[in-house]
């Protein structure tokens, strides 16, 4: 039978993997700028940190859980039917011990299959990369650097990537950042959605610590508390290496344009700089609402 701490670890790992299945990227310290021009030209740049949240740590916790379950521990047996429905502990019979061992072996087999499924799910999330492989980060760096716009990608360890990204194009299609080759389920920091009549809506769901339109950050905060409780209950609460690393938002996002601004949610509205309107959002862990704006531009000739 599983011990209580190991069972709690198993629940934590499985729950966290499920929560991360559709969203596992988050900015740390960064500077980002979006430019939209009247003729429909746009540019986007991002310089700073991107975290691949928790994947290697989750795998490590799962492996530790498996290693901790390497020895069978006999559980107490009880007599029932006593007065006041009381239960009295007694020595287990050989048949009862054999039944416990059988249940324990079945549980180990179930856990092994579950771990295999979790590993395959993590690989799918990373386009076939195994996050437990020490060379996985280098392979991901190589993939990103061959994509257009990813000018510099450096892995700093613990899921942290320092990147420099820049791209330009025409507003003939929607745009999202970031995208990663062969990674099908990544949350987006910035999105441009084209509308009829030369309008474009900008949303930046990744640039908010808590947003009703983006449950991602709320889930991350819940996971931080969940893992703290799990580690404390299992006796590892003071071991910092057991804790998941969650980045702290700290950045600036600017939208620079010579178009007509129809709506935005900045505190002070547009400021004129070198003949262009600039909307600025200062992003911290206290940012509650994701940046958004609606612009009207002229179609390209």
Domain boundaries, position 233:
4-296
Q: Indicate the number of domains in the chain.
A: 1
Pairwise CA distance, residues 182 & 163, whole Å: 19
Token pair of 187 as six digits: 């949350």
215 is a domain residue: yes
Token pair of 99 as six digits: 């039944």
Instruction: Please report the pLDDT score of residue 297 as a whole number.
Output: 93
Pairwise CA distance, residues 166 & 183, whole Å: 20
Instruction: Please report the pLDDT score of residue 59 as a whole number.
Output: 52
pLDDT tens per residue, range 221-275: 444 444 454 444 444 444 544 455 567 889 999 999 999 999 999 999 999 999 9
280 is a domain residue: yes
Instruction: Please report the pLDDT score of residue 22 as a whole number.
Output: 43
Beta strand 25-36 pairing with 250-257: parallel
φ, ψ (nearest 5 deg) of residue 213: -85, -5
Instruction: Please report the pLDDT score of residue 56 as a whole number.
Output: 53
Token pair of 165 as six digits: 């990204």
301 is a domain residue: no
* SS3 per residue for the chain: CCCHHHHHHHHHHHHHHHHHCCCCEEEEEEEEEEEECCCCEEEEEEEEEEEECCHHHHHHHHHHHHHHCCCCCCCCEEECCCHHHCCEEECCCHHHHHHHHHHHHHHHHHHHHHHHHHHHHHHHHCCCCCCCCCCHHHHHHHHHHCCCCEEEEEEEECCEEEEEEEEEEECCCCEEECCCCCCCCCCCCEEEEEECCCEEEEECCCCCCCECCECHHHHHHHHHHHHHHHHHHCCCCCCHHHCCCCCCCEEEEEEEECCEEEEECCCCCCEEECCEEEEEEEEECCCCCCCEEEEECCCCC
Please provide the average confidence, as pLDDT, over all residues in the chain. 78
61 is a domain residue: yes
pLDDT tens per residue, range 134-180: 788 888 899 999 999 999 999 998 889 999 999 999 999 999 999 88
| Rounded average pLDDT over 204-211 | 81
**Global pTM value:** 0.71
20 is a domain residue: yes
Least confident of 99-108, 132-141, 174-183, 195-204: 132-141
Instruction: Please report the pLDDT score of residue 131 as a whole number.
Output: 67
16 is a domain residue: yes
51 is a domain residue: yes
């Amino acid at each position: 039978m599983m011990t209580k701490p190991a069972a709690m670890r198993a629940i934590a790992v499985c729950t966290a993997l499920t929560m991360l299945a559709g969203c596992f990227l988050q900015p740390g310290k960064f500077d980002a700028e979006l430019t939209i021009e009247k003729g429909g030209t746009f540019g986007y740049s991002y310089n700073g940190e991107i975290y691949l949240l928790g994947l290697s740590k989750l795998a490590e916790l799962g492996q530790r859980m498996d290693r901790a379950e390497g020895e069978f521990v006999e559980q107490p047996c009880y007599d029932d039917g006593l007065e006041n429905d009381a239960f009295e502990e007694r020595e287990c019979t050989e048949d009862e011990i054999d039944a416990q061992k059988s249940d324990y072996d079945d549980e180990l087999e179930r856990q092994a299959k579950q771990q295999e499924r979790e590993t395959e799910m993590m690989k799918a999330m990373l386009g076939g990369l195994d996050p437990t492989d020490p060379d996985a980060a280098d392979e991901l760096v190589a993939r990103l650097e061959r994509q257009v716009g990813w000018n510099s990608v450096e892995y700093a360890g613990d899921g942290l990537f320092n990147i420099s990204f820049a791209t330009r194009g025409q507003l003939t299609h929607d745009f999202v950042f970031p995208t990663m080759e062969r990674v099908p389920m990544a949350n987006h920091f910035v999105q441009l959605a084209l509308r009829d009549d030369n309008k474009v809506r900008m949303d930046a769901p990744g640039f908010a610590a808590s947003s009703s339109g983006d449950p991602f950050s709320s889930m991350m905060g819940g996971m931080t508390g969940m893992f703290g409780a799990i580690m404390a209950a299992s006796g590892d609460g003071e071991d910092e290496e057991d804790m998941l690393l969650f980045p702290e938002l700290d950045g600036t996002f600017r939208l620079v344009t010579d178009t007509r601004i129809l709506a935005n949610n900045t505190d002070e509205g547009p400021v004129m700089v070198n003949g262009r309107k600039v909307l600025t959002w200062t992003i911290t862990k206290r940012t509650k609402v994701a940046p958004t704006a609606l612009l009207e531009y002229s179609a390209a000739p």
